[in-house]
Amino acid sequence: MKPSRNRNSGGDALPSAPELPAHGWSTDETLARLEALRRDDVRWKDGRVFSLAYFATPDAHDLATEAYRRFSGENALNVDAFPSLRVMQSDVLAIVARWLAAPASARGFFSSGGTESILMALKAARDQFRHDKTRPNVVLPASAHAAFEKAGAYFGIEMRRVPVRDDWRADALAMRAAADDQTVMFVASAPQYPQGVVDPVADIAALALERGVNCHVDACMGGVTLPYLERLGVSLPSWNFVVDGVTSISVDLHKFGYTAKGASVIMYRTGELRSHQAFVTDNWLGGFYGSSGVLGTKSGGPIAAAWAVLHHLGDDGYLRVTREARDTAMAIAAHVRAHPQLTLRAEPDATLVCIGAAPDTTLDIFAVADTLAARGWYVDRQQPPPSIHLTVNAVHADTYREFLCDLDAAVAEVAARAAKGEAGAYGTLE
Ligand SMILES: *Cc1c(COP(=O)(O)O)cnc(C)c1O
């Protein structure tokens, strides 16, 4: 199936209206049309979507929605006007700092998402070294997120991608060879998205120390989950500020923080490092203008939702939902490992599972994804190599057994028909 599944197929009741109504619609009519529009959307709250959305509990979801609603019109562009948002942002940053084992010197900003957090870390590094590194580059593994490419394209920073090792983890030795005197940053992911493994952060941070440059850890996926996995006894390499040389870390709260979309944190080891992110000007007719990140106007909705969900789930809640997600991911991994026609690309370090066709088969894994879609399951498709990707979260604890039955059936069906599928896309251009 093509990734254009979200479009209203139109035709019957309540089609969308591509023009401003001459007479405004009533609340009821408008809401009815909104509900009609979402008819073809994936059903993520039912636990049938392994990508794009996260669901801890109905209570946490409802609370996030309510907090968002109450603060959606508030504007964190100026927290002098909204001291509530100043307090919420600083509380959220303090909580995240503990997860990251950040030192007392650490300072961060609340951002709109992983992409903004990453963009800002790279922009800060470029500006920090602008005097002696005028053709800046960043050395990063091939597995690092697409957002780094975006940052490079936006800010004129060369992205030096280095192939990963056979185990999909970053190759620190090869990264060392790719760096030069224009390198401003090395990147590690915890975990990387495609195969779900944690890079050797300490080895990569050591490269940064050696050159006196920055090391960013992309913990957009793992920033909330890894601290709890460690407490659950999962053995992981060091990945946060306990590692000397790590200068910044990105953590998405709208992923495994289970809050509403538009919530991430970019944390720096010191306020000095963070200072290169912020923007100020008075070179216009409107007076002094300062802003922390890409946004100008910054809705209070995501901030209030994040503050609410963090406090509502609490430490015990995050431990519980992390255990649920992890147990589910490991059960899926065990099933795939034992399946003669499937292969597990890597043992999951966290809660991401990457599945390919076993090397001695002709199975088309994207056709398996198509067949799963026909049965109401939405999985990510990625390459190279062609794979199905599952972002397993707490919601799947109740649905994964049914998923595995359908996975087996889909594999059998595709093998019998020798069906072919299409790759799809992680992000679209609309
Ligand atoms: C999701 C993700 C990002 C990008 O975050 P967005 O919130 O989608 O902007 C970056 N890195 C990793 C590892 C991610 O999983």
CATH number at residue 412: 3.90.1150.10
The model's confidence at residue 14, banded by pLDDT at 50, 70 and 90, is: low
Residue 118 lies in a domain: yes
Tokens of 46: 């039912």
Q: If we measure between CA atoms, which residue out of 224, 217, 223, 140 comes closest to residue 174?
A: 140
Residue 425 lies in a domain: no
Pocket test for ligand 1, best of 54, 119, 122, 145 (most atoms within 8 A of CB): 145
Per-residue pLDDT for 9 more than 60?
no
Residue 135 lies in a domain: yes
Q: Whose CA is nearest to atom 5 of ligand 1?
A: 114
Q: Sort strands 264-268 and 107-111 into parallel, antiparallel or unpaired.
A: antiparallel
Give dist(CA 303, CA 283) in Å, integer: 29
* 242 and 143 share one domain: yes
Domain that holds residue 195: 64-310
* Ligand 1: centre distance to CA 115 (Å): 6
Distances (CA, A) of 178 to 87, 101, 293, 390: 43, 30, 30, 31
* Ligand 1: centre distance to CA 217 (Å): 12
Spell out the residues 6+ positions from residue 299 whose beta carbon is closer than 8 angstroms to its own: 71, 72, 73, 74, 75, 76, 262
* 248 and 354 share one domain: no
Q: Which atom of ligand 1 is nearest to the CA of 221?
A: 15
Q: Which atom of ligand 1 is nearest to the CA of 222?
A: 13
* 324 and 242 share one domain: no
Q: If we measure between CA atoms, which residue out of 230, 247, 240 comes closest to residue 199?
A: 240
* 181 and 119 share one domain: yes
Pocket test for ligand 1, best of 51, 220, 250 (most atoms within 8 A of CB): 220
pLDDT in tens, 226-272: 999 999 999 999 999 999 999 999 999 999 999 999 999 999 999 99
Per-residue pLDDT for 86 more than 90?
yes
| pLDDT value for 7 | 42
| pLDDT value for 1 | 38
Global confidence as pTM? 0.95
* 287 and 353 share one domain: no
* Ligand 1: centre distance to CA 50 (Å): 15
The model's confidence at residue 4, banded by pLDDT at 50, 70 and 90, is: very low
Tokens of 174: 């090869």
Domain total in the chain = 2
Spell out the residues 6+ positions from residue 7 whose beta carbon is closer than 8 angstroms to its own: 40
The model's confidence at residue 422, banded by pLDDT at 50, 70 and 90, is: confident
| pLDDT value for 427 | 81
* 306 and 318 share one domain: no
Q: Which atom of ligand 1 is nearest to the CA of 116?
A: 9
Q: Which residue has the tokens 């409107």?
A: 286
Give dist(CA 415, CA 80) in Å, integer: 62
* 289 and 320 share one domain: no
* 189 and 125 share one domain: yes
* 297 and 367 share one domain: no
Residues within a 6 A CB radius of ligand 1: 113-115, 118, 145, 147, 189, 193, 218, 220-221, 252, 264
Residue 355 lies in a domain: yes
